[in-house]
Structure 1
């Protein structure tokens, strides 16, 4: 027998050394973490469709019987026009121009007495409410009847600021028809007695229209989070008298 070797029992085989305890614990921890991550991913995948379907149901129910054709919408003091894309030269996109055209018709028909244009002016060079006001004034709407909200960064902010900054408690909300249910639902939840008119004239931009409808499914989830949390708008600011003065004129 070679020097330094130890005898083995007949039929026995050499045994592998046991791995260090720290290594076994580390591998077990990795397995547990992987199981938990997998379960979390599965739960998340199940919750997404539930959240989308549930939010869509809330939006539809909240707006039910509060959305009308232009000719049938009940009168209100103010038309709240929600912002949309403005081109670099300051021209409203077709979607925004269609909203403004509806608001102009509402004013001309005596359905409203003032127009609150609410949009994104977060950068100096990009000014949705300024472009909206110019479009209306250039088409005969008296300047004193148009009030600008420069911090309507999304639908919730526009509705919340209409109520809390401009003192609007009753309004006709104007946007595209795929968006109108959510806009009315959010406005009503934050304290504006809102009805809505949805534009259908830009359906000819089929790709953009379909994208807008698809986006609404997920925007409804954000709307529920916003109204349940009751968050402040991105920029709240002090009360502004513009709507009150426009109505007094």
Structure 2
């Protein structure tokens, strides 16, 4: 009985490691290309204060907008526990402060996960008849975002941010992506 448990655990660990290698070998092109819209994926808000990751994603999205990489910006993220406003609302406020016209910002404020960010945003993309989007998130997050974008038939290119002042959180985020990819890809 113990040998079976050891084999099962060993097999599971081997599968997870092999899957991790496979995921990190998937090609992801982060070349910024002009698209119909920019899609910024949400991240934690504490009360009404955006996290450093959300702040950097949003500022980067504003910069891309100003450079003409998209005519609109979709901000995607609902309201989770400990959040007094939706992530989309937090991003909208930042974008307006950064000089993006309010009428160019489209809110998706129901999603509570990356899978839902892409699922719910895909409806907006279809409704607005956007051909393609430039997805903005942390670099470690883009691989999963690309998988989920394909799953939702979103034609996308990608632009990642790295928040250098939060290297340990960036590392943790990268490690956290492994089970998240397994959950989103294999279980959904």
The TM-score bracket by the shorter chain reads 0.7 to 0.9
Deviations, residues 49-104 of structure 1 (Å, cap 9, x unaligned): 4135325524642xx25322xxxx1111111111111122x121111111011110
Provide the C-alpha distance between the structure 2 equivalents of 1:180 and 1:214, rounded to a whole number of angstroms. Answer: 13
1:83 pairs with 2:42: yes
In 2, the alpha carbon distance for the partners of 1:194 and 1:52 equals: 28
Give RMSD over aligned pairs: 2.2
CA pair 41-133 structure 1, distance change in 2 beyond 3 A: farther
Q: Is 2:186 the counterpart of 1:193?
A: no
Of 99, 102, 105, 1:140 maps to 99
Q: Helix, strand or coil: the match of 1:205?
A: helix
In structure 2, the partner of 1:6 is none
Alignment of 1:160-171 (within 5 A): 160-167=119-126, 168-171=130-133
Distance 1:55 1:170 in 2: 28
CA deviations over 1:191-235 (Å, ceiling 9, x no partner): 0011110102x1221221221111112222123125xx4xxxxxx
Distance in structure 1 (CA, Å) of the matches to 2:10 and 2:124 = 39
Instruction: Give me the whole-angstrom Cα distance separating, in 2, the residues matched to 1:126 and 1:46.
Output: 43
Query: So what's the TM-score if we normalise by structure 2?
Result: 0.86
Partner residue, 2:12: 47
Q: SS at 1:186's partner residue?
A: helix
User: TM-score when scaled to structure 1?
Assistant: 0.66
Counterpart-to-counterpart distance in 1, 2:11 and 2:158: 33
The runs of at least 4 consecutive aligned structure 1 residues that moved more than 3 Å come to none
| Residue correspondences, number | 184
Mark the runs of 5 or more structure 1 residues left unpaired by the alignment: 1-34, 230-249
How many angstroms apart in 1 are the aligned matches of 2:13 and 2:119? 27
State the partner residue of 2:185.
Answer: 224
Of the two, which has the highest radius of gyration? 1
Pairing of 1:81-230 with structure 2 (within 5 A): 81-88=40-47, 90-122=48-80, 125-167=84-126, 168-200=130-162, 202-225=163-186, 229=188
1:12-31 Cα offsets, whole Å, 9 max, x none, are: xxxxxxxxxxxxxxxxxxxx
